[in-house]
Amino acid sequence: MIAAPIPQNDPERLAVLHALDVLDTPPQARFDHVTRLARRVFDVPIALITLVDRERQWFKSRVGLPVTQTPRDVSFCAHAILQDEVMVVPDASQDRRFHDNPLVTGEPHIRFYAGCPLQTPDHVKLGTLCILDRQARRLDQDERALLRDLAQMVSQDLVSAQIAAEDPLTGLMNRRGFEQLAPRVLQACQRGGQPVGLMYFDLDRFKRINDEHGHAEGDRALRLFATALRRSFREDDIVARLAGDEFVAVLPLADASQGDHIRERLAGALADAVQREHLPYPLVASAGFAAYDPARHADFAAVLAEADHAMLAAKPRAVR
């Protein structure tokens, strides 16, 4: 095993990393969305956002790996941050740097590794967005570009000021967080040739709930609706509250049939909530789906508007 050399600027690099105050912080949805998306689009068992500290690499987000950190001297990412581009190891068992690495000879039995450095605007490398497989494989140029795009998302979020990206009432992503993340996901899926859809939701008769039962009950209805949405989507779908009773979701690798399944699951989850909570009013939502097509949609706002229009068309006349 060959441990990565320590770069000359490591003291400065570590100072920048520690100043971000992100090490050992709890999971955050905007980072977990990226790792789940990476695992799905690259069809790998493990995806990580790693930060290379003085003696360890710590995982800000991880899917497919139970541990939260590993020593720096066995880290693939410690090698990756020495490079400017994506580092690819097609078969670690045949690579002199890694063939006897404990992460190769033991759990998680890494064979394939690809990691893109996470950089500040001043080109200080903090860690990587990386994908791992237990089988040898390669990464073509389009896939490398997609990994770079996703890494750029993470880099921008790491170095930006802490964004209030969560809706305090429902716990979902708020409009600001969604409008930052969703367009990047659409672009990443487009670059990778992957389908992606967007769904727009409106909680029907919400004004009547507020008028007849009070605003506290209206808030309760919104929280129950948010819970039903979470249960209806996949882990790597991005669900957010835009405003009031309007909600939206981006569905990577999804088409209109997936939208139909979401509607069915959501209707069932809302019916269960009404029965479980003994609500004196129904919980019903109208939904619209739009498949992102770069030939028809000039930007993210265009696909959002199409999904909104489809939702309004689907809404019963009695509640429009």
Q: What pLDDT is stored for residue 1 in this prediction?
A: 85
Kindly report the length of the chain.
Answer: 320
So what's the pLDDT on residue 52?
A: 97
Residue 27 sits at φ, ψ, to 5 deg, of -60, 150
Distance CA 80, CA 151 (A): 13
245 is catalytic: yes
Q: Which residues contact 74 (CB under 8 A, 6 or more apart)?
A: 1, 3, 101, 102, 103
Distance, CA of 52 to CA of 278 (rounded, Å): 50
Q: How much is the pLDDT for 164? A: 59
How many percent of the chain have pLDDT more than 70? 97
- Spatial distance between the Cα atoms of 39 and 143, rounded to a whole number of angstroms: 12
Confidence class for position 182, pLDDT limits 50, 70, 90:
confident
**pLDDT band for position 289 (cuts 50, 70, 90):** very high
Query: Residue 185's closest CA among 121, 249, 138?
Result: 249
Q: Which residue has the tokens 């100072």?
A: 15
pTM: 0.67
CATH hierarchy code of domain 175-319: 3.30.70.270
Residue ranges of domains in the chain: 10-159, 175-319
Give residue for tokens 């009547």.
208
Q: 120-164, pLDDT tens digit by residue?
A: 887 889 999 999 999 999 999 989 999 999 999 899 888 774 455
Residue 101 clears pLDDT 50, i.e. is over it = yes
Q: What is the mean pLDDT of residues 205-209?
A: 93
175-319 matches 10-159 in CATH topology: no
The catalytically annotated residue of 245, 255, 260, 308 is 245
Of residues 30 and 198, the one with the higher pLDDT is 198
Asked whether residue 235 carries a pLDDT value surpassing 80, the answer given is no
Are 55 and 72 contacting, i.e. CB atoms less than 8 angstroms apart? yes
Mean pLDDT, residues 186-206 taken together: 87
The Cα–Cα gap between 131 and 181 comes to 20
List, in order, residues 6 or more apart from 206 with CB less than 8 Å away: 218, 221, 222, 244, 245
Domain 10-159 carries which CATH code? Answer: 3.30.450.40
